[in-house]
Amino acid sequence: MRRELEMQEMDWTALANPSEEMQRSWLLQSTTLTMKTYVQKKKTYIWTLAFIGVLVVIAFTMMTIRALTHLDHYQQQPPETYSIALHTGLKFFNSQRSGRLPEENNVTWRGDSCIQDGKYPGSSYPHLSGGYYDGGNAIKSNFKMSFAMTMLSWSVIEYHSKYQQLGELIHVEGIIKWGTDYFLNTFDSSADTIHDMVFQVGHEGTERYCWIRPEDIDYQRHADICFSECPDLAAEMAAALASASIVFSKNVVYSQKLIHGARILYKYAESSMNTDTSSSWDELLWGGVWLYYATGDVSFLDRVTTLALADPSGVFSRDSGVFSWNTKLAGAQLLLTRLRLFLSPGYPSEEVLRKFYNQIGNVMCSYLPSFNKFNRTKGGLIQLNHGDPQPLQYAANAAFLAALYSDYLDASDTPGWSCGPNFYLTYVLRDFSRSQIDYILGKNPQNMSYVVGFGERYPKRVHHRGASIPKNRKESCKGGWKWRESSKENPNVIEGAMVAGPDGHDGFHDVRTNSNYTEPTLTGNAGLIAALVALSGQKDNLDKNGIFSAIPPLFPVAPPPPAPWTP
């Protein structure tokens, strides 16, 4: 301040004018200084660019090292491991067949069983021989069987060439057809409208009490019929028939028969649906998506869009990301995401497709260890059923979704997906998928394969009536209890059966009497097979376009013009 005041008080007019020579020196000095400053700034700019370049190279190198470290962190199984496990796992379905068995069934301890199902006085459905038993007893549940067949069909549609290369295409198609042939006999599949359908054959109490081989069942087995109270079952079975119609698309007559059945089942589901759609909402989505893919009928996509916009708030919040025979939302989300990634139908479906695209991304985020939505055992098994028994089927289904989504992203030239501010590459999904399947196949604290017949150590006391009683040993209902209670190994090896699995602490008890550990299920094995085929062989074997064969070329409708501007 003082200096400024001094300068203000100075009389500048009293100073002598500079000479002409001095003024020239000032001009020369200014030019010299300007050139020096320019050169100095240029050097600084070049060094700054070089420094930034070095930082970019270092950052890229660190990212590459981090990526490679992550890739090496999870030690992958040899590629043939999943193929061998798939061959084994498919044998389980042969062991679960009901009715008159085909010659190629190849399970020596199984024979014809329950061929009189439906044949009793007053029966509306006398031809119920066939189909599959759910698990260790002799119940045939259309709901669970439908989900299992849909999962197998989905895996064939996506990985047709893999099944062919593995020599299992004819086998798996035969497994699916055994189920769909049975479904067509559980409702009036030749009609245009139905009013009832078979829900289940075999009563829970009786089938749990009678521990005998299915071949020796001589008691009358009634069918449970539902009338207007089962839209979820009808939509689920519609999904099974619609997806199978794509598998058998070259057999035009049979494929159209399946489509007709799927249409009338879905119609029945819609007419049976009451104002509270929460119990069947996900099945209606699931069935509607499959019917759209099977028929190309855009009205099914419109129905799915309407259903999606009417999402029952909070109904699936706890189970978001859980895909099972009882919860189909994640499967429907992934199927709709497939449509958006490969066909991009645009308006008016884009809003819903973008919604499901974002939701399935969140589902995949929830599977990662860095997110805390689902707990994991110390051995690494994800607890999608929140610590309840029989966790393996849920983990297998999630492994399938993750591997399939990874293949969708790769096939659409999408390098990965975002979880909040973080971006993950597709290999992260396959690492998760492998980690769960490898756990099932023996990479767990028990060092035990939970698939019977695979690996050196697996369960020997499977909770299964047919496997636990010697062939040709006929017992009464109560007389068979001694085989159920026995601590000896099963006399028959039920190859390919994935048992229920360990508890929430990686503990497992190989005891026949505890189904929470040792009972296999049709639905569980279907998810396992789907995941195994997704992980086997080369990952670029996805059939990108087969599922769209019935969909006509899409010409998106232009969105409506904006409302006129008013001042």
Q: Is pLDDT at 44 greater than 50 in this prediction?
A: yes
What is the pLDDT, as a whole number, of residue 40? 54
Residue 253's domain comprises 77-542
What is the pLDDT, as a whole number, of residue 372? 85
In percent, the amount of the chain with pLDDT more than 90 equals 74
Q: Is pLDDT at 422 greater than 70 in this prediction?
A: yes
* Tokens of residue 560, six digits: 């409506």
Q: Which residue has the tokens 């028959």?
A: 492
pLDDT of 311-363, one tens digit each?
664 554 556 899 999 999 999 999 999 999 999 888 888 989 999 999 999 99
Whether 216 is covered by a domain: the verdict is: yes
- Those residues whose C-beta lies under 8 Å from the C-beta of residue 36, and which sit 6 or more positions away, are none
Mean of the pLDDT values across residues 189-205? 95
Work out the pLDDT band at 556, boundaries 50, 70, 90. Answer: low
Whether 270 is covered by a domain: the verdict is: yes
| Catalytic residue (one of 73, 87, 195, 463) | 463
CA–CA distance from 338 to each of 278, 285, 411, 491 (Å)?
25, 15, 10, 46
Q: Is pLDDT at 80 greater than 70 in this prediction?
A: yes
Whether 549 is covered by a domain: the verdict is: no
pLDDT of 83-98, one tens digit each?
999 999 999 999 999 9
DSSP per-residue letters across 150-202: HHHHHHHHHSHHHHHHHT-HHHHHHHHHHHHHHHTTTTTTTSS--S-EEEEES
* Tokens of residue 82, six digits: 């999943």
Whether 1 is covered by a domain: the verdict is: no
Whether 132 is covered by a domain: the verdict is: yes
Helix axis angle, 329-342 relative to 350-366, nearest 10°?
120
Work out the pLDDT band at 307, boundaries 50, 70, 90. Answer: confident
Please tell me the total count of domains within the chain: 1
* Beta partners for residue 560, in sequence order: none
Q: Is pLDDT at 235 greater than 90 in this prediction?
A: yes
Q: Is pLDDT at 246 greater than 60 in this prediction?
A: yes
Contact between 143 and 233 under an 8 Å Cβ cutoff? The reply is: yes
pLDDT of 48-65, one tens digit each?
555 555 454 444 434 433
Active-site annotation holds for 222: no
Q: Which residue has the tokens 């399939």?
A: 404
The region of weakest confidence among 36-45, 100-109, 479-488 is 36-45
Mean of the pLDDT values across residues 425-434? 97
The region of weakest confidence among 193-207, 212-226, 272-286, 406-420 is 272-286
What is the pLDDT, as a whole number, of residue 564? 83
Work out the pLDDT band at 380, boundaries 50, 70, 90. Answer: very high
CATH at 171: 1.50.10.10
Residue 110, SS3 per DSSP: coil
Q: What is the DSSP letter of 327?
A: B
Work out the pLDDT band at 45, boundaries 50, 70, 90. Answer: low
Whether 180 is covered by a domain: the verdict is: yes
Mean of the pLDDT values across residues 255-282? 87
Q: Please state whether the peptide bond connecting residue 18 to the residue before it is cis, i.e. omega within 30 degrees of 0.
A: no
Whether 559 is covered by a domain: the verdict is: no
Q: Is pLDDT at 230 greater than 70 in this prediction?
A: yes
* Tokens of residue 91, six digits: 């044998």
* Tokens of residue 424, six digits: 């993950």
Mean of the per-residue pLDDT values of the chain: 87
What is the pLDDT, as a whole number, of residue 56? 43
pLDDT of 483-505, one tens digit each?
999 999 999 999 999 999 999 99
Whether 547 is covered by a domain: the verdict is: no
Provide the Cα torsion 443, 445, 447, 448; round to 10°. Answer: -90
